[in-house]
Chains A and B, each alone.
Chain A
Amino acid sequence: MTTTKPHTEVPTPRGPERRPAPLTMRQRMGRWDVKFSPYLYIAPFWIVFAIVGLFPIFYTAVISFQEWDLVRNTGTMVGFDNFAFVLQDREFWLSLRNTFSIFLLSSVPQLVAATFIAAMLDKNIRAKTFWRMGVLLPYVVAPVAVALIFSNMFGDRYGLINSFLNDIGLSSIMWHVDVIPSHVAIATMVNFRWTGYNALILLAAMQAIPRDLYEAAAIDGAGTMRRFFSVTLPQIRPTMIFVIITSTIGGLQIFDEPRMFDTNGQGGSNHQWETIALYLYNKGWVDFDFGRAAAVAWILFLIIIAIGLLNLFITRRFIAGDAGASTKKSKKVTK
């Protein structure tokens, strides 16, 4: 701040003491422009986010401490009772188990397949656009429609897969009774939907790799596999991290597929495939216990944050290549 500016100096009527001259309107506006306009430009997002994001999050917190009556919009404070109930509920832990199991069964094969497909699409193939759009098609199909198609395959008695197994002399797999088969079935639906989507994102990253890296590697005598592992994979790391984080968040919120997996939509007679999101829905919309549902929502929120932080830690520590390491160093230096 400049304190003395002879030209704009105006004598103050009171006393001899000199005050810094007040700025002209124009100067003030100019200063505000620099100071505030960035905030103004991002304001629309934050205003909308505050209404549809932050407010519901905090309102959910308020409800989670009450025994809430949805219809009358009133509640009585019960402290941490809802949280205590949820954390002691066998159903909650089963659904947590199911969520992680389905998440692992879907995310891991999905990423491997997506990377492979992307690598293939990155090759010089005919009708590129056709193949690239083709892998995105399952993503366009509504999850509910996917569930309908797959329920035809995963029928216990008359499903396509079991008919085939019976034909070749194997016994049926009880998709809707046994825990792991039900998770495999649901993970298959999730993979069907998301593999192509992730493949396209990874493909975009692969396209951005400078071709001379491959040429140099080839001249050095690296074969296809070596080029893939030593050039492609390190180069797409940042995108890979993005894909891992988004599929983690998505994986922990799996809802449509387990809900559509049988006609009851409550996750099986023994909660075989009830996920956290489905548990939340059941607490809210089936039992009409929105206090407990809100508590589940917050617990799920905290779990996702915890796993997000864990992801960040792991990626910084182990995966982030030289780029991540150098920013870390430079940060330390600036401190």
Chain B
Amino acid sequence: MSFSRRKTTLGFAAGAATLALALAGCGNSSDPEGSSSAAPGETGSNDEPITLTLATFNQFGYSSESEGGGDYMYDLIAEYEELNPNVDVVYNVADTSNTARENFFTKLGPGGLADVEAIEVDWLPEAMQYSDLLADLTSPDVDGRWLQWKTDAATDKDGRLIGYGTDIGPEAICYNVDAIEAAGMDASREAMTAAIDGDWDNFFALGKQYSDATGKGFYEENAAVLQAMIGQLEAPYEDPATDEIIALTNPEVKEIYDTLTAASDAGISAGLQQWGDDWAAGMANGDFAAMPCPSWMLGVIAGNAPEGNWDIADAFPNGGGNWGGSYLTVPANGENVEAATALAAWLTAPEQQAKAFANVGAFPSQPEASESEAVQAATNEFFNDAPIGQIFTTRAAAVTVAPYKGPHYFQVNDAMVNALRRVDEGTMSAADSWAQFEADVQAIG
């Protein structure tokens, strides 16, 4: 990002100008030396006043006021309004991603969405089917801002970029120190990192060692590990060219299923459904020792097991993995598309995203932000002062594959999760459950 860029845009329309401010503004605000320039603010004040609406869900780390009143270091919304006196940002936060999803798809066609709408990677494939209803956000100003796979997932077949990446969820392995020690294993961060570093067979062997020693499950449930394993395949469930469902014929999927159900039989899976009450209680009671752990999971663990002694291994089986993350989109039928694009660009600029990380720990999808001092120096007290900034930067760099997710991805994945849970629960044998999975998948579409 060069400042000459800003000068050239100054003469253009309001939206383009605000975009430039956004870029310049972010440069100022997070500059550790505190050098500031008022230039971008000035240009903004010349524009006529506009009101922009921004809608997100859960906690994006933008403004404490709208996100449940947590203890935030920065208020990005107030900062943007200060930089652009003509812009009034109305910030609405939905309680869950699901609420936001229903709202998004109900209003996407007829209109009525906010000027900037956040979408989660979980329903990005569904949104991609309607990419023509979202503004094309491609701009030379933001070229190369995000990790390549993050941008690729939000770029449609015509090359239109429909979302600016906010955060990602690079995965490490979190583990319960006391539980690992109880199994007679070395629970130091270095030792666990070395033990987990390897392929999936190595991971399951480690799990078997633990489960044999303690009689307990090593990880929470198969569905959690499935997420990680499927996330390392290029095209697990659908053919990228035709969107035809290939889940039943893809040997890799069957192999993962067989591996996981075998692990279930060996007692390596604790069979505690993620997000359930038993799962939360099991985390505190040491019912399982390890879990795939994206950056945003840290707060969940600390919240569920406040007395626990947990740590993070800087390793992930078979390379890297990503779980979750979001984008900001701009519905094309909005009234202020240009100004909205500028706001989205500003919020997802590395400087702002580093602040959102400071606020709520949302790990930035922008390499420049993750390399920043603020992120690199971050540690987490609950996890024995683990250098989480450095760990997750390494984990993000290890992510090489973003699986192709077509329109039926989540239906197929849901069927797969249910198939694995039936085996975990003991409702069905692995073979019966696979047969049921086949029937479920055939009913899709």
Contacts and interface: CB of A to CB of B under 8 A. Distances in A.
Interface of A: 70-73, 85, 89-91, 151-152, 155-159, 174, 176-177, 262-264, 266, 269-270, 272, 285-288
A60 to B, nearest CB: 16
B96 to A, nearest CB: 11
A157 B105 contact: no
B133 interface: yes
Interface of B: 102, 105-106, 108-110, 126, 130, 133, 272-278, 281-282, 285, 287, 411, 414, 417-419, 421-422, 425-428, 436, 439, 443-444
Contacts of A159: 277-278
Contacts of B275: 263-264
A91 B281 CA distance: 31
Chain A interface mostly: loop
Nearest to B417: A269
Contacts, number: 71
A71 B109 contact: yes
Contacts of A158: 277-278, 281-282, 285
A270 B433 CA distance: 9
Nearest to A265: B98
A158 B102 CA distance: 33
A288 B110 contact: no
- In this complex, the member of A89, A151, A152, A177 whose beta carbon has the largest number of chain B beta carbons within 10 angstroms is A177
A177 B276 contact: no
Complex A-B, nearest 6 residue pairs according to Cβ-Cβ distance, in ascending order: A269-B421, A263-B275, A158-B281, A71-B109, A269-B418, A157-B278
Contacts of B428: 270
Contact of B422 (A72, A263, A270): A270
Contacts of A266: 414
A85 B126 CA distance: 22
Contacts of A264: 273, 275
Nearest to B426: A177
B436 to A, nearest CB: 8
9 contacts: A73-B109, A159-B278, A262-B276, A264-B275, A269-B422, A270-B418, A270-B436, A272-B427, A287-B444
Contacts of A72: 109, 130
Given A90-B439, A286-B411, 5 more contacts: A72-B130, A158-B285, A174-B425, A269-B422, A286-B414
B427 A73 contact: no
Nearest to A74: B109
Contacts of A70: 105-106, 109
A123 B422 CA distance: 51
A155 B425 contact: no
A91 B440 CA distance: 9
A72 B106 CA distance: 10
- In this complex, the member of B278, B439, B443 whose beta carbon has the largest number of chain A beta carbons within 10 angstroms is B278
Given A158-B281, A269-B421, A270-B418, A262 B443 contact: no
Given A71-B108, A72-B130, A152 B421 contact: no
Nearest to B287: A157
A177 B444 CA distance: 24
Contacts of B414: 266, 286
A176 B287 CA distance: 18
A155 B418 contact: no
Nearest to A287: B411
A78 to B, nearest CB: 13
A156 B110 CA distance: 44
- In this complex, the member of A72, A73, A152, A158 whose beta carbon has the largest number of chain B beta carbons within 10 angstroms is A158
